[in-house]
Structure 1
């Protein structure tokens, strides 16, 4: 029987961390035999070195990170006797945000996007694996925002992300496409970087540039 420790260890070989375990509720995106859902996200900064050395990163084809995630997810799920759940697989789409909150390791932040107990505002979920057995979940974490001055609410130069929880993507894209927005474009979102939780979880500049370039294309 697979254990939480074994899953964590094997995922770390791919620069991934276990970001939550939940007991699934009835959902058409989840196999009816599933007893647990395990969420996975990048473990910075180890993740970028591993992903950027992958064939998907350098083959020139579209969506390299999604294709890498799909390959790794299926490899791990096969080893564990589980099924892969991808955020982009739909419609209907698996309820990743709901699962993240149910894990008691992620919450809605003062600016809207999820904040994670370890990854802060840099949290992302690459995939999940449905397992046919109950799995012990990590102990609930304390919500970091409860004792935070919330610098995220005042960090965006154009107010694209703020305390009103409305993400103005058009203003964001216009800003990071301008000379004034080069810091965000090359080093990542100032709001996410302002989160104190992410002090030891910052993405490398080349990784931030990769994600920002992908954001501009969408």
Structure 2
């Protein structure tokens, strides 16, 4: 697969674009790494991550969802698998998902591919998109790719003095000690959790970076409902 100086495989970029998806960088596996296999059963030599910036895939996903049976479980995962799987087939790659079991180290791969670091919320902080981005899958290849050299991005959290992302949650779900999952879940499901259910995570929305990519309220409500199982 050919690559250009400006990025990885323009043809692959063009194949993902109609679905609101983008390439999120890639890397070659080391010879001593334990890696998943490709379609032939051989160990993968390289990986390209696929994801989104902002809510670009949302209208494409909604149109697809209208054609699916009511009550489909994990519809966004299903849509992502279908789209990325079809693109992978066209490029001779194996498509994998963050929800595949056994789980693969997608966050570590993302940090490796884009040089990002976690925010205090655990979401990787992107220098342009802030916290408003996601990884929807990866493509595994049997050959090494000419991956453009990665320039280490600035970590915006290092510049943020007030850390408003740690102060907005009424349940104090996020702190320097980590994420209090049960406290968050209980609050979101409870009688006082309507602002979170309707408008999204208050801590995430308090982050001052990448606000132009912030998910619309309906998108945030969808993700909160999936998180809370409601």
TM class by shorter-chain length?
A: 0.7 to 0.9
- Alignment counterpart, residue 111 of structure 1, candidates 121, 136, 147: 121
Which residue of structure 2 aligns with residue 195 of structure 1? 207
Q: Distance in 2 between matches of 1:6 and 1:142?
A: 29
Deviation at 1:160, TM superposition (A): 0.6
2:221 equivalent to 1:212: no
More deviation, 204-213/173-182: 173-182
Which residue of structure 1 aligns with residue 28 of structure 2? 23
Q: Which digits, 9 at most, give the CA deviation of each residue in 1:90-124, with x for residues without a partner?
A: 22x22111111112442121233322333322332
Moved over 6 A (4+): none
Which residue of structure 1 aligns with residue 97 of structure 2? 86
- The number of aligned residues is 216
Kept in 2: contact 1:186–1:205 (CA 8 A): yes
Which residue of structure 1 aligns with residue 171 of structure 2? 158
Deviation at 1:57, TM superposition (A): 7.2
TM-score (norm 2): 0.83
Q: Distance in 2 between matches of 1:213 and 1:104?
A: 29
- Cα distance change, pair 141–15 in 1 and its aligned pair in 2 (3 A): same
* Higher-Rg member (1/2): 2
Kept in 1: contact 2:27–2:147 (CA 8 A): no
Q: Distance in 2 between matches of 1:20 and 1:155?
A: 32
2:181 equivalent to 1:176: no
Which residue of structure 2 aligns with residue 75 of structure 1? 86
More deviation, 8-17/66-75: 8-17
Q: Distance in 1 between matches of 2:2 and 2:18?
A: 16
Q: Distance in 2 between matches of 1:85 and 1:66?
A: 11
Kept in 1: contact 2:131–2:210 (CA 8 A): yes
State the SS of the aligned residue for 1:142: coil
Is the helix fraction higher in 1 or 2?
Answer: 1
State the SS of the aligned residue for 1:53: helix
Which residue of structure 2 aligns with residue 66 of structure 1? 77
State the SS of the aligned residue for 1:200: helix
Instruction: Flag structure 1 segments of 5+ consecutive residues without an equivalent.
Output: none
Kept in 2: contact 1:113–1:121 (CA 8 A): yes
1:113-128 alignment, distance < 5 Å: 113-128=123-138
